[in-house]
Chains A and B, each alone.
Chain A
Amino acid sequence: MTRTLVVVGNGMVGHRAVQALRDRDAEGTWRVVVLAEESRPAYDRVALSSYVDTWDAGTLSLPEHDESVQVRLGDPVRHIDRAAKVVTTASGHEQGYDALVLATGSRPFVPPVPGHDLPGCHVYRTIEDLDLIRASGGRSAVVIGGGLLGLEAANAVRLMGMAPKVVELAPRLMPLQVDEGGGALLRRQVERLGLEIHCGVSTVAVEAGGNGAAAGVSLADGTRLDADVVVFSAGIRPRDELARESGLAVGERGGILVDESCRTSDESIYAVGECACLEGRVYGLVGPGYAMAEVVADRLLGGGAVFPGADTSTKLKLLGVDVASFGDAHAASPGALEVVHNDPVSGSYRKLVVSDDAHVLLGGVLVGDASQYATLRPLVGRPLPADPGSLVAPAGGVDLALPDEAQVCSCHAVTKGQITCAINESGCTDVASVKSCTKAGTGCGSCVPMLKQLLDECGVVQSKALCEHFEQSRAELFEVVRATGIRTFSQLIAGYGKGRGCDICKPVVASILASLATGHVLDGEQAGLQDTNDRFLANLQRNGTYSVVPRIPGGEITPEKLLVIAEVARDFGLYTKITGGQRIDLFGATVDQLPPIWRRLVDAGFESGHAYGKALRTVKSCVGTTWCRYGVQDSVALAIDLELRYRGLRAPHKIKAGVSGCARECAEARGKDFGVIATELGWNLYVGGNGGFKPRHADLLVSDVDTETLVRVIDRFLMFYVRTADRLQRTAAWIEAMDGGLDHLREVIVDDSLGICADLESAMAEHIDSYQDEWRGVLEDPEKLARFSSFVNAPGVPDPTISFREERGQRVPTVQLGMPTEGLLAGPNISEVAAR
């Protein structure tokens, strides 16, 4: 029988609880109703400060639940009738339940100082809070609270163009996570960014100016700070009022009391996340909240899960400074010893907390350089592999041999033993396969360096060899070709490889030669390196015919050109379909039909669309300012310019792009390798998106830039990708695999940290200058043209194995079941093949 679960609250933890239940409740024994106070769908509040980068709330979205989950937004629950098991919302809606999960979260704590409610005073918790701060148009800001949230808020305010002053009651920043030494270093680092820090002092009042709004903040030490924006982020208080009103037990200092199964004093009601008080503690971190969500999902399905105890270890980058704390960071354990390495010159602070005999690691604090976090955190509670002094020393170089049961990934509770088992027994040979096999490294990602290290320790040589013929990676071969001036495959394999190549290395070398602007892709020996698609400049389809895609830059086309395509399709009997890239695909052409088809297309002004190549495909666009009522920039013109600029660029994989004329994003640019979205001030550039097997949204690289800057950054981005990515690596995977990821990419192609930008730009300029339409090149060269024949001894005879039938008024291939008998000497039986 289906029972009803009602979840009160749609924050991150409530969302996770529903997702965890839906993932496991395959039989659908629970009908789920979510009643939310906020009127927008659940979003990632932990990443709230990044909202300021884009002002696009969509970037914070959490995955939507399947349609069986009913979510009622903007209608908070006001009353629980525990006897009748019915909740009532603000709008009067009544909803019965069999089980109730309270995930009401917390509210920001605003100290009751005089003036705390003046106009200009804000809190920092929701998207709406940030919108309000932005809309206030303030110039000077004070952030009350110098903890984790306070510094996040300060960062957000700073990104809005204000220089925030931070007031913290405790004697140091982030008092819960770091100690005095770490706090001192953190303070120095953030002061360098222009923040003004006041620690160890309380706020006395918010003072009003002549207009009745906040104008300043006065501190207990007599200091007065100018501020037309005051942001309170001085801690949180659990939202337990609904529970109190219903007579559920609450903690002394607030929070709905729950046991280790997250059950409240009413056995049909659970509480999870920041509103819950477990063993006397309220956890303000999302990690413990997620753990509670998992416990409840398990309990609802009859399991016996208990709260595993919270790992409050934290590693984050705040205002550009790495901060990590783990275990007993404050040496609260009896007899605990602290070993500290403090280097203010290089800006790094490391402290380990160890047992009184210095044998067991209890915790630690890392500020400035938290790279050791991944190796140290799993050692908490375990014997130290070396003396603590050498572990905190810079570049310790000490072998940290972890025991098998040590947890390497705390997000998914994966131990070292499980990972080494995946490597040794399941045959994982790289980080990606370890991730998909064990889920390790797929949460916060902080353990990824550890995964690499474990692969090394297990003796897995992470080979970069392209194939059996070349020991080099694609990027290395690119450099070889560039530096040596070698321009043929035979020379390259004779000098730098072995054998005669294969279907892996030959197309790679062909692509490298093409990227280096070495003439037509079918010139001389190059033709034999190409995959069939590039060899016939068309896309091979399942029955041996090809499809034809003329370039339609930006998706803009005149009726006259549309007529040409229609006539060609009609005259050659081609199946016609509109593609996702805003162009038209014509299917069913035989090899010998390709030249006459293209003769007509080229005569009408069309060029190759490179749909067949690992190359720039399309730059999709929305309608833009010319027609659209909402557009803020001319997206169509930019898309056409970009498509014409980069047409013909060969790359490690296909490149797709998009340009949207406003934040409504109708061109779906963030699903592209590079996507441009118009802003009122210029353009935002996003990189590393793709659809496909593993869809991914592109990340913001630069914002509000003018067209010239935009084009320069895209030039660099594409050329850097062409030179350094692996074979068949889309931009998303390329950025993900890069040491330092998107930040590193930005350093290289925006800040020019490697000094290569001028070179990248000139390489792109060379590509643009040397571009020629590949199909025109074939039509003008009788020798190339001669290769487009079905049979060397019967050029005019069509391939007799190709046949068509009709479907919805068009010609489609006849489907062949099983292996053909022609030419086959041995093969599995037909049914096996059909099942493939």
Chain B
Amino acid sequence: MTAVDELTWTAVCEFGDLEPERGVAALLPGGEQVALFLTYAGTLHALSNVDPFSGAAVLSRGIVGDRTGMPVVSSPVYKQAFDLTTGQCLDEPDVRVRTYPVVVWDGFVRVGSP
């Protein structure tokens, strides 16, 4: 695991900008796109925004819910579900998308990237 102090932290928005179960996309300095999700329970998750099945950068626009209690987002393109915590695709065991560390500090949502 990457040590926290080696990460670059990008403030992407104010925490108050996020609404539960409605993702937003953010652009990191390296050009990577992350999808940010606030669950109904109040936990924050950041995954790669790129849907691996279509190649479109759209995961932030998927529907957020749960599968057997596990928070997931469904890709809006072909509907595969991704575990918000691990990025694991629940419909294709071989597929997993990158997750990013995310913290709220000083009222801002910050995403860590190497």
Contact = CB atoms under 8 A, between A and B. Distances in A.
Interface of A: 468-469, 490, 499-503, 505-507, 527-532, 535-536, 540, 542-544, 790-794, 797, 799-802, 816, 819-820, 822-828, 833, 836
Contacts of B44: none
Given A500-B39, A528-B20, A826 B31 contact: no
A820 B62 contact: no
B62 A503 contact: yes
Contacts of A506: 63, 65
A223 B76 CA distance: 76
Contact of B49 (A490, A529, A543, A823): A823
Give the most central of A794, A801, A802: most B CB within 10 Å: A801
A822 B26 contact: no
A531 B94 contact: no
Given A502-B63, A528-B19, A800-B31, A827 B98 contact: no
A802 B49 CA distance: 13
B56 interface: yes
A136 B62 CA distance: 65
29 contacts: A468-B67, A500-B21, A500-B66, A500-B71, A501-B65, A502-B72, A503-B62, A503-B74, A506-B65, A528-B19, A528-B20, A528-B22, A529-B63, A536-B61, A540-B61, A542-B54, A543-B54, A544-B54, A791-B25, A791-B26, A793-B10, A794-B26, A797-B27, A822-B48, A823-B49, A823-B52, A823-B97, A825-B96, A826-B96
Interface in B62-98: 62-69, 71-72, 74, 76-77, 79, 81, 87, 92, 94-98
B50 A827 contact: no
B73 to A, nearest CB: 9
A827 B48 contact: no
Given A801-B57, A822-B50, A826-B94, A792 B63 contact: no
A544 B56 contact: yes
Given A793-B26, A801-B50, A823-B50, 4 more contacts: A503-B65, A794-B27, A823-B52, A824-B98
A641 B33 CA distance: 46
Contacts of A826: 94-96
Give the most central of B55, B64, B76, B96: most A CB within 10 Å: B55
B12 interface: yes
B55 A532 contact: no
A673 B67 CA distance: 34
B45 to A, nearest CB: 13
Given A500-B40, A791-B26, A531 B77 contact: no
A828 B52 CA distance: 10
A793 B54 contact: no
Contacts of B98: 823-825
A540 B77 contact: yes
Contacts of A799: 33, 57
Contacts of B67: 468, 502
Contacts, number: 144
Given A499-B69, A823-B32, A828-B95, A793 B13 contact: yes
A793 B24 CA distance: 10
A826 B96 CA distance: 5
B39 to A, nearest CB: 7
Interface of B: 10-13, 17, 19-22, 24-27, 31-33, 36, 39-40, 47-50, 52-58, 61-69, 71-72, 74, 76-77, 79, 81, 87, 92, 94-98
B57 A542 contact: no
A823 B24 CA distance: 16
Given A542-B77, A823-B50, A468 B33 contact: no
B66 A819 contact: no
A542 B95 CA distance: 19
B24 to A, nearest CB: 4
Given A500-B40, A502-B65, A793-B13, A824 B50 contact: yes
Contact of B48 (A500, A502, A528, A824): A824
A793 B27 contact: yes
A790 B31 CA distance: 13
A816 B54 CA distance: 8
A816 B13 CA distance: 31
A827 B95 CA distance: 4
A532 B66 contact: no
B56 A801 contact: yes
Closest 8 CB pairs of A and B: A823-B48, A544-B56, A532-B76, A503-B74, A502-B65, A503-B63, A792-B24, A501-B65
A542 B64 CA distance: 20
Given A540-B58, A823-B98, A792 B36 contact: yes
A530 B95 CA distance: 25
A833 B92 CA distance: 12
Contact of A792 (B13, B61, B62, B92): B13
A153 B55 CA distance: 62
Contact of B58 (A490, A503, A544): A544
A800 B26 CA distance: 12
Nearest to B49: A823
Contacts of B68: 468, 499
Contacts of B25: 790-792
Nearest to B86: A825
A820 B65 contact: no
Nearest to B87: A825
A801 B52 CA distance: 13
A499 B67 CA distance: 8
Contacts of A507: 63
A581 to B, nearest CB: 23
A823 B68 CA distance: 25
A241 B68 CA distance: 73
B86 to A, nearest CB: 10
B65 A825 contact: no
B55 A543 contact: yes
A532 B39 contact: no
Give the most central of B65, B94, B96: most A CB within 10 Å: B65
Contacts of B58: 532, 540, 544
